[in-house]
Structure 1
């Protein structure tokens, strides 16, 4: 896992690296500028393009000055550097790089006010005005200057963080910072890049390594961790000789209704392909023909017989909710499951029933998994103004209830009962189709049936679900839930 740090922690990582490597701060800035320039030149290889670089007077501006110097040496000749002179203070490394640039042929324009910027006629803008650490919206000359840059409709590359964007914390509803095509950030992505609101600040981001001390970074206490493929490879267990279907557990999927049997089929199919030794679908009587035709390997348990089961403990995993419908009978089933004190995977209508029966929330078995999307989450825990606030609630509730909350989005947040938030980086917009949540619930249930811990099952489920979609999206504009469910086994094999 990559430990994700706050701006203050990243500043400490800079200081630690400078002191212990040892390396002068100006040389570390040069390394950062080289890493940025390497990434930028890969994207923008046409050196005939004109570039405007806006540099504030802090270290972010110092990075911008060093980048200007490097781009000149890499064949760009039409570069204008705008010195944003809105502050009396300047960093020592900014001053050094300004002196170096004075000796070059680069054109420099001083902006004492935003009005000094008459127009932007360059093909590309590089934003190095303000770095991370900002915790309030732009105002005054900075706000006016950024507005002019955004109005120019020029493609913008931001250095480390777009000017005006908060690296962490609650993002304001009205964003007035730089709107970048791409942000090239140093060593770690900013935590807020994973929040949906970040699309207003940067269409994409790329992380470049600048040589900060990784051991120091990984040892920092943090709330957020980014899942890496090596974590998945390390966690997955190979199938051993002499194992059998009983080795890999029995999963029960309680799902589907008269008009929503597709959800039950998708969830059961995903469970099957993720490797549960036995899968039983608890479905309405009307769905038996569809189940037998589509998934002959999956056993059926008619829904009206469920409450007659004397031993639900025979299932190593129970998932409830996909396409279930909201009714008194289904509410009774969920309530009965909760009283057995057996961990559950609760999705879709299972969550909607919980939202109506808040008394059941306090009784949830420890190590259960809730898999809400944003609207389901807010129905459970109240309306939130931002994703940062939503995540703070998810963290608190996961700890309080001793459960795992999988908060689904482009980047899914997996909140553990220990208060850690794991960010899943896989998944593709091509997966924006109905049924994907049904598949994910089945995948997590299958890993639980195979005796993975709850947090490992959730992490594996989200990563592999998303990676399967990523692979399919390489050749398809739209990926269906059925395709993802059927492709999971191949991705697991590839990862192992």
Structure 2
């Protein structure tokens, strides 16, 4: 997994490398910026641009920009260099690299800020790095606004200027670079994981700059980005002599009048995710259609015609998943409370089960430890109240998981999985085509199936969320994001499993 560190820890990693490699800060900048230049040449065809313009601040991010400018000169390009000279307090390594530039750089100040952005230009943004701690204002904001307005290709070095790595600064297109590519150094930044900041990042490229590997051993990150290699190791191998009883018995409590589609989607996804046996507890009026729609599933009797409200006589070996489409009637709320009182093993709660918990937070104390909750942002807001910004939302997600000893899966662009020990894992699969009715019901089925097969709550969440997104990616590739429906994600699950196993 790729570590995600706050700014102060990234600085510690730099200093640790400088001390223990050892290497000077100047040479570390040279190595990092050279790696960024090499990646730049792989991301864009430099020769297709009429000109290249580099905007450098006066800190270390600007120093990276000057090294890139020098590398461009060495390779026969003629970049136009602008120094955004907002202070006389130049960093030591910026000043040293400024002296190595053999061409004139135009200095942009409050009193002299005249420049033109050509057509067919490549803009390289190296104004501010990850340590920015206040919103960009004044003439620098005007420079950023003009860069964004030109609609030319823009590559940000480490982070788009104006964006802080781990705090909200009220970012918009007038004070934050909107990059086509972001070439970030070594560790991912927290802001990159939060969907409000995705429009500014463009295509994210992570560059290994050789920071000392022992730093992570001594300072393990509490936040990680999940990659395929991490998930592949979680997938269990099936024994040749296995039978269906080895793979668990899931019981899904789903649906109410008008919402039986949610039950069918979750059940089909559960069966496609390797569960040995599946039972469904749904209102009586759904039983005929369920026998046809999900013939593999068994139906548990429920005397209520249109809502869940009576049956609580379930055997202990079931793994329970519930919430999709159950509604929030008085009788269903009472049923959920009595159901939770009988549980001691981890369960999966989604959708209306979460909404009912949000209305009566005393019920949260009944949720078994290590259960998995899977709200979208709206449902999460009902659980915890309004959030000041995306970073506050992430903080509250972690606090909620810790307070109630659960796994909280907050669905989004990079779905985040918070454990009760404070660790957070961000998913790397999925696409905007999955923003469609029923997609969350599919995830409920997948996660319940994995829990039933004996995966730990943490591993079930990581593996299930990754598979859900990967299946969505295959569906999008085959059908296009606009045409995807939730059933397409289910149909792509076999391909997702086969890809992980290959």
TM-score range, shorter chain: over 0.9
Shift of 1:107: 4.4
Closer/same/farther in 2, CA of residues 222 and 243 from structure 1, 3 Å limit:
same
Match of 1:440 in 2: 443
Match of 1:135 in 2: 133
Shift of 1:132: 1.2
Match of 2:500 in 1: 495
Match of 1:261 in 2: 260
**Cα distance between partner residues in 1 of 2:112 and 2:294:** 68
1:299 maps to 2:298? yes
Match of 1:150 in 2: 148
Match of 1:95 in 2: 95
Whether the aligned pair in 2 keeps the contact of 1:57 and 1:89 (CA below 8 Å) is yes
Which consecutive aligned stretches of 4+ in structure 1 deviate over 6 angstroms post-superposition? none
Q: What SS does the corresponding residue of 2:180 show, helix, strand or coil?
A: strand
Whether the aligned pair in 1 keeps the contact of 2:2 and 2:188 (CA below 8 Å) is no
**Cα distance between partner residues in 2 of 1:332 and 1:415:** 28
Closer/same/farther in 2, CA of residues 139 and 39 from structure 1, 3 Å limit:
same
1:470 maps to 2:468? no
Shift of 1:155: 2.6
Whether the aligned pair in 2 keeps the contact of 1:114 and 1:141 (CA below 8 Å) is no
**Cα distance between partner residues in 2 of 1:284 and 1:311:** 16
1:11-410 equivalences in 2 (<5 Å): 11-49=11-49, 50-77=51-78, 79-102=79-102, 106-113=103-110, 115-121=112-118, 123-172=121-170, 176-304=175-303, 307-315=310-318, 317-342=319-344, 343-410=346-413
Shift of 1:450: 0.7
- 1:430-471 Cα shifts (integer Å, max 9, x gaps): 222111100101111011101111111111110111111112
| RMSD of equivalent CA atoms | 1.9
**Cα distance between partner residues in 2 of 1:171 and 1:221:** 27
- 1:137-190 Cα shifts (integer Å, max 9, x gaps): 112332233233233333321110111101012342656222222211111221
Q: What SS does the corresponding residue of 2:236 show, helix, strand or coil?
A: coil
Between stretches 68-77 and 203-212, larger displacement belongs to 68-77
**Cα distance between partner residues in 2 of 1:312 and 1:389:** 41
Between stretches 18-27 and 166-175, larger displacement belongs to 166-175
For normalisation by structure 1, the TM-score amounts to 0.94
**Cα distance between partner residues in 2 of 1:383 and 1:279:** 37
- 1:267-288 Cα shifts (integer Å, max 9, x gaps): 0111111111101111122222
- 1:367-403 Cα shifts (integer Å, max 9, x gaps): 1111100010011111112121111111111111111
Shift of 1:193: 0.8
**Cα distance between partner residues in 2 of 1:444 and 1:364:** 17
Between stretches 474-483 and 216-225, larger displacement belongs to 216-225
Match of 1:428 in 2: 431
Q: Which ranges of structure 1 fall in alignment gaps of 5 or more residues?
A: none
Whether the aligned pair in 1 keeps the contact of 2:58 and 2:91 (CA below 8 Å) is yes
Shift of 1:359: 1.8
Whether the aligned pair in 1 keeps the contact of 2:402 and 2:421 (CA below 8 Å) is yes
Q: What SS does the corresponding residue of 1:158 show, helix, strand or coil?
A: strand
For normalisation by structure 2, the TM-score amounts to 0.93
Q: What SS does the corresponding residue of 1:444 show, helix, strand or coil?
A: helix
Q: What SS does the corresponding residue of 1:47 show, helix, strand or coil?
A: helix
Q: What SS does the corresponding residue of 1:235 show, helix, strand or coil?
A: coil
**Cα distance between partner residues in 1 of 2:222 and 2:163:** 20
